[in-house]
Structure 1
Amino acid sequence: MDQDWTVQRVPAADGAEIVLHSTGTGPGIVVVHGGGVTIEMYRRLAVRLAGPFTVHLYNRRGRAGAAARAEPYDGEQDIGDLAALLAHTGARNVIGHSGGGFIALRAAARGLPIGRLALYDPAVQVDGLTPAGWLPAAQEAARAGDIARALALTSAGINTQSAASRLPLGLQVALCRLFLRTPIGRTMGDLLPSTLDETALIHRHDGPPEQWAGVGAEVLLACGADGPPYYPPTIEALARVMPRARTLVVPRAGHDALNRAPHHLVDALAEFFAGA
């Protein structure tokens, strides 16, 4: 889509380069994208928020030309990279989506200078609310190189509200093989092993919501009304313990609504970041 973008190379704490794509004017918002995708999925969101805001996109480690991710994965580089970008841009607003929401929330809990934090379908495990039983089988399939099976198990395990998740596994695998031939499917397939590592880290941080009670930022906890059913109780549990949090269930929205950027969601985000 037609839009003016600036591209900067920002040094990370370990000397790696973070390639930052920015558009718009006004106060900055840094977007921490979800697992299995790149910033290309968030350009529509950036364009629709640009104008009153400057929106900053960057690929997290191991994606689309970004620096390699340290192994074993512990998320520390992700937090460090976000800290570097906040320092470089002066932005105090952050959007985190799915696994990126987990990273952004950890960063806020560490005391990074985040004034306003919007989390959409944050992949945060609270008191076992998010299903985890599918993960070992998906990891085993990925290690064996059977990405279609690993993706089918992952999709069914995460998207429990989907009719496709109730199909026979063999049919789900066949559908995933077709999906892997598409551009977005190839990207998700290539990134699936790292996505599963991130999911495992999220589940290792399972616990009571009180572990996030120290987050002092103004927080908007949002989820889609048509998305996985575990997100509404998750954001409600988080909101009860965070001193400056509110929840929002977005109508006509699934897990990918942040990528689709419908106007009613973008307007709600703009209102939140404007301080309303």
Structure 2
Amino acid sequence: MTTSPEIVASADGTPIAYESTGDGPPVVLVGGAFNDRTTVSALAATLAPRVTAIAYDRRGRGDSGDNADAFAVEREIEDLAALIAAAGGRASLFGHSSGGVLALEAAAQGLPVERLAVYEAPFVVDGLRPLPAEGTAERVRALIAEERRDDAVCLFLTEQVAVPAEMVDGMRASPAWPFLVGLAHTLPYDIALCGPDLTVPTDRLAKIAVPTLTMAGGASPAWFPAAAQAVADAIPGASYRTIEGQDHGVLHNPEALREPLLTFLR
């Protein structure tokens, strides 16, 4: 993939940066929290050349612009609409984590989506993990406003994602931590996408009328596959698949997604 992205203007004029690789039917890769186009680039290369994989920077990330004062989920839907238009008017979507929630919402709103694949959308069913404490979104936004980005990332990970505190301590000592902190200002977007109580939006999902595949890792905590199955159950005709040996970090092992995604997308 090239280092100089292409740019498409979203409906509100925000520039959205993207890169395309491969040939064949287009599929837009939608990353979740702490992701930009670089973190899905390995998956794009793995899927090419059998599809045209489009890796993009969600607004506020990488080379894309932002309009943070007026953020709403609808703006990110408009960003996807602009990317799909640039890809020829129809495209499939693959979404990881909260990027999967964004992809689901785009399909539910009737964007011209050919096929939809989602990996571990972070909904919570059956009380399988603690829900975020009340006011978590407001606290994250306040920390960002105070430029306490490190603290905002810690709060998001422990409260919103239920990562054990000792694991977060280990992450803070890793070379990847500055990358996460650099994207702290976009965390409110992911919280808004998933909703305050992380409930599966069954009524909205029932509106999705395109072939859909949900996936979860066989090595992931139980709440991820339970949520993926619940999402599949809510979408007419959708199917669920376990990706054995993988967890939420599957983007680091893109070969694990190659066969299931290409089989489904083609």
TM-score (norm 1): 0.83
Distance 1:10 1:133, change over 3 A: closer
- The question of whether the paired residues in 2 share the 8 Å contact of 1:126 and 1:208 is answered with no
**Distance of aligned partners of 1:153 and 1:16 in 2 relative to their CA distance in 1, 3 Å threshold:** closer
3-state DSSP of counterpart to 2:20 = strand
Residue 211 of structure 2: aligned partner: 218
User: 1:228 & 1:143 partners in 2: Cα distance?
Assistant: 32
Does 1:237 find its partner at 2:230? yes
Aligned to 2:263: 271
**Inter-partner Cα distance in structure 1 for 2:15 and 2:152:** 31
Aligned position for 1:189: 181
* Counterpart amino acid of residue 112 in structure 1: L
**Greater shift in the superposed pair: 102-111 or 29-38:** 29-38
Residues of 1 paired with 2:244 and 2:54: CA distance?
Answer: 26
Measured in 2, the distance between the counterparts of 1:10 and 1:85 equals 7
State whether structure 2 residue 244 is matched by structure 1 residue 251.
yes
- The farther-off stretch of 228-237 and 65-74 is 65-74
Partner of 1:199: 191
Q: CA RMSD in A?
A: 2.7
Cα pair 2:29 2:95 within 8 Å, conserved: yes
Secondary structure at the counterpart of residue 30 of structure 1: strand
Instruction: Find the counterpart in structure 2 of residue 155 from structure 1.
Output: 157
Q: Distance in 1 between matches of 2:154 and 2:188?
A: 13
When residues 270 and 71 of structure 1 are mapped into structure 2, their CA distance, relative to the original with a 3 A threshold, is same
Amino acid at match of 1:249: T
What's the CA shift string for 1:131-162, capped at 9, x where partnerless? 433574562655555444443343344665x7
Rounded to whole Å, the distance in 1 between the matches of 2:25 and 2:224 is 29
Separation in 2 of the partners of 1:22 and 1:89? 9
Greater Cα shift, 67-76 or 134-143: 134-143
Return 79-88 or 195-204, whichever deviates more. 195-204
3-state DSSP of counterpart to 2:17: strand
Matched, 1:27 2:25: yes
In structure 2, give the amino acid aligned to 1:94.
Answer: L
Amino acid at match of 2:10: A
CA distance in 2, matches of 1:12, 1:19: 10
Distance 1:264 1:82, change over 3 A: same
Question: In 1, distance between residues paired with 2:200 and 2:26?
Answer: 32
**How many percent identity over aligned positions?**
30
In 1, Cα distance between equivalents of 2:21 and 2:222:
34
Question: Partner residue of 1:84?
Answer: 82
Say if 2:34 and 2:180, in contact at 8 Å, map to a contact too.
yes
Counterparts in 2 of 1:70 and 1:130: CA distance versus 1, 3 Å: farther
Q: Distance in 2 between matches of 1:225 and 1:135?
A: 30
Q: Partner of 2:107 in structure 1?
A: 108
Counting only pairs closer than 5 Å after superposition, residues 109-188 of structure 1 correspond to structure 2 as 109-124=108-123, 131-134=130-133, 136=135, 139=140, 142=144, 145-157=147-159, 160=162, 165=164, 167=166, 174-179=169-174, 182=175, 184-188=176-180
Q: Aligned partners of 2:243, 2:150: CA distance in 1, in Å?
A: 31
1:6 and 1:23 in contact (8 A); partners too: no
Which ranges of structure 2 fall in alignment gaps of 5 or more residues? Answer: none
2: distance between equivalents of 1:248 and 1:271? 12
Change (3 A) 1:81 1:141: closer
Q: Which runs of 5+ in 1 are unaligned?
A: none
Q: Which amino acid is the alignment partner of residue 61 of structure 2?
A: R
144-153 or 185-194, which moves further after superposition? 144-153
